[in-house]
Amino acid sequence: MRFIFDANLSPRLPRALNQLYAPDKHAIVAHVDKFKHDAKDPDWISALSKEGNWIILSCDLFKKNPIEREAIANCGLLVYVMTKGWGNLGFDDKAWKLVRWWPRIVQHAEVSAPAPYCFAPKISGKGKIEQYSP
C-alpha cells in the first residue's frame, strides 16, 4: 500500500512512519516529497486518483471549499481524515498517537472500499474509524 500525508501534516510524520513500517511493504510519503508545497488540493488529488493505489491521510476536513470536497469525495481512493482534536495536538502528541493508530489504519485499509473515513485522536474506548462525509 502507498500512503501519502497531506501538506497540512509535518513531513516528519510520514518519514518517521516509513522508517518504522517500510519493512511491512508500505510506502509512506509526505506530500512535499511528491508534489510542490503549493499544489492545489483538486490537482494533486486528481493526480493520485489517476495513478491509483494511493491512500490519503489528512488533517484537512475538506469542508470549506466545495471543489476540494468534491475532489476528495469522488477520487476513488481511500482517504483518512484526522478529526476531532488532532489539529489541537502538538507535534509530539500527534506523532505518538499516530504511531499508536497506524496498525489499525493499515488493517482498515486492507479490507475497506475506497471512500473517505475519519478517526479521532482517542484510540481506546470508542476509538474507531468511521465513514466520513466531507
What H or E segment, with its residue span, contains residue 5? strand 2-5
Tens digits of residue pLDDT in 54-113: 999 999 888 888 898 899 889 999 999 998 799 899 999 999 999 999 999 999 999 999
Give the class (CATH, top level) of 2-131. Answer: alpha beta
What totals of helices (H) and strands (E) does the chain contain, helices first?
A: 4, 6
In this structure, the chain runs to a length of 134
Task: Output the pTM of the full model.
Answer: 0.93
Q: Tell me which amino acid residue 108 is.
A: H
Q: Domain residue spans in the chain?
A: 2-131
Contact between residue 56 and residue 132 where contact means Cβ atoms under 8 Å apart = no
β-partners of residue 54 are 2
